Amino acid sequence: MRRVYMDANATTPLLPEVMEAMRPYWMEHFGNASSIHRDGQHARTAVDRARETMARFFNCHDAEVVFNSGGTEGDNTAIFGLLHPGDHFITTSIEHSAILEAAKRLAHRGVETTFVAPQPSGLIDPVDIRRAIRPETRLISVMLANNETGVLQPVDEIGRIAADTGIFFHIDAVQGAGKVEFDVRRIGCHLLSISAHKMHGPKGIGAMFVRRGTPIEPLLVGGSHERRQRAGTENVAGIVGLAKAAELAMHSLDDGTIYRLAGLRDRLEAGILQSPGTGINGADANGKPVARAANTTNIWFDQLEGEALVIALDMKGVSISGGSACHSGATEPSHVLMAMGLDKNRARASLRFSLLKTVTEADVEHVLHVVPEAVEHLRALSPVAAGTLG
């Protein structure tokens, strides 16, 4: 059976060039980058080169790049590394759990958090961020692109607010990186987190931009790796893979790949929206989508259970995600969609299609062929449609 993977925001496969770049660093060039012998120096050179690439990717100085294990670690480091008892933290109610759970933990340690809610479109209004500022506010953290809706947040404006008020600013760019241009100097943020596996690199590796002079405490202590900002023997192959993925991502932003991706996403979306009882999560009051990452659309389907559609599509060879999380057997509606004001049923009946940049027209056609069939079939069976499920 033909399989089409449309869950790129969960993770992406390695591109062949990434695999090839990494391969030698597991085998012949296996050295520890801290060793002074030739094997070690070979690894050190690879890490240094990767750091230069990441500095271009972020538009920062080499010394401002810190390699780590991915988005969760970057997000946690920003929060635990900067906030102390008595500080106030501003974030949004649509962040990833790596931010939300870290904020919850700090609540027990005397750090209060304001969770700014989005507009119904999924956009955070910078005015709401400004309003939440108090004298003791030390950090603002806002994501670049939402993982469920793809909605791009106004980080430039929030960066100006942070600069005006002297507050540290962290961006979770895990879902935006490689899909949209960004530049840490232009935005003026102090910290920014990315993860390789969301951009065709390996899992378990990421990087953080840490603006020079930002007084951040490391999460991990031990050796003096990463200028004492992140202890632990460098994952050399992972770092090389991340840098290769970043290099390819920069090309994709330049050579029209991302533009083409947006076109295919739009075609998919328009096709699905022809089914009755559907709509976009991430649109303004007139139903016009707001600015989103090129690969993502989140669609509600009235009168059905999102989870049932995920399973039905999986059986037809299509991998997608619902925005809901499964906690102890019960499907919880997505916190992002609920924060945008959707009711529980609509939030549960919403699905995320997130396309790989390697997606083909034939993939989109296949999905457009199977989705309406599956939707009609499920609606015919659905207790939601029959009005027996509250």
| CB half-sphere exposure, 107, CA atoms < 13 A | 11
Regarding 96 and contact with ligand PLP (CB under 6 A), the answer is yes
CB of 57 to ligand PLP, least distance (A): 16
Compute the distance between CA of residue 35 and CA of residue 205 in angstroms, rounded to an integer: 21
Among 14, 47, 51, 75, binds ligand PLP (CB under 6 A): 75
Regarding 98 and contact with ligand PLP (CB under 6 A), the answer is yes
In terms of CB distance, is 77 or 382 closer to ligand PLP? 77
Whether the Cβ atoms of residue 358 and residue 261 lie closer than 8 Å to each other: no
Compute the distance between CA of residue 81 and CA of residue 59 in angstroms, rounded to an integer: 23
Compute the distance between CA of residue 210 and CA of residue 219 in angstroms, rounded to an integer: 14
Mark 141-170 with x for binding to ligand PLP (rule: CB under 6 A) and - for no binding. Answer: --x---x-----------------------
In terms of CB distance, is 129 or 151 closer to ligand PLP? 151
Compute the distance between CA of residue 50 and CA of residue 223 in angstroms, rounded to an integer: 20
Regarding 175 and contact with ligand PLP (CB under 6 A), the answer is yes
Q: How many chain residues interact with ligand PLP (CB under 6 A)?
A: 13
CB of 95 to ligand PLP, least distance (A): 7
CB of 169 to ligand PLP, least distance (A): 16
In terms of CB distance, is 151 or 167 closer to ligand PLP? 151
In terms of CB distance, is 92 or 175 closer to ligand PLP? 175
For residue 117, the tally of other CB atoms under 10 A from its CB is: 14
Regarding 297 and contact with ligand PLP (CB under 6 A), the answer is no
Whether the Cβ atoms of residue 173 and residue 193 lie closer than 8 Å to each other: yes
C-alpha closest to that of 199 among 149, 261, 153: 261
Regarding 71 and contact with ligand PLP (CB under 6 A), the answer is yes
CB of 20 to ligand PLP, least distance (A): 22
Active site residue 189: no
- Taking contact as CB under 6 A, which single stretch among the options 113-121, 171-179, 212-220, 382-390 is the one that binds ligand PLP? 171-179
Regarding 8 and contact with ligand PLP (CB under 6 A), the answer is no
For residue 244, the tally of other CB atoms under 10 A from its CB is: 24
Report the residue closest to ligand PLP, judged by CB: 71
Query: Site residues for ligand PLP, window 41-70 (CB under 6 A)?
Result: 70
Compute the distance between CA of residue 347 and CA of residue 323 in angstroms, rounded to an integer: 8
For residue 335, the tally of other CB atoms under 10 A from its CB is: 18
Specify the DSSP element, H or E, that contains 321: strand 321-322
Helix (H, G, I), strand (E, B) or coil at 144: coil
Q: At what angle do helices 236-254 and 38-58 cross, to 10 degrees?
A: 30
Regarding 83 and contact with ligand PLP (CB under 6 A), the answer is no
C-alpha closest to that of 198 among 69, 14, 358: 14
Specify the DSSP element, H or E, that contains 331: strand 330-332
Structure-token pair, residue 49: 């080169």
CB of 194 to ligand PLP, least distance (A): 8
In terms of CB distance, is 69 or 303 closer to ligand PLP? 69
Regarding 172 and contact with ligand PLP (CB under 6 A), the answer is yes
Compute the distance between CA of residue 96 and CA of residue 334 in angstroms, rounded to an integer: 11
**Given 107, 326, 380, 386, which residue is catalytic?**
326
CA distances from 109 to 84, 101, 310 (A): 8, 13, 40
Regarding 174 and contact with ligand PLP (CB under 6 A), the answer is yes
CB of 176 to ligand PLP, least distance (A): 8
In terms of CB distance, is 66 or 384 closer to ligand PLP? 66
Applying CB under 6 A, the residues found at the interface with ligand PLP are 70-72, 75, 96, 98, 143, 147, 172, 174-175, 195, 206
Among all residues, which ones are annotated catalytic? 326
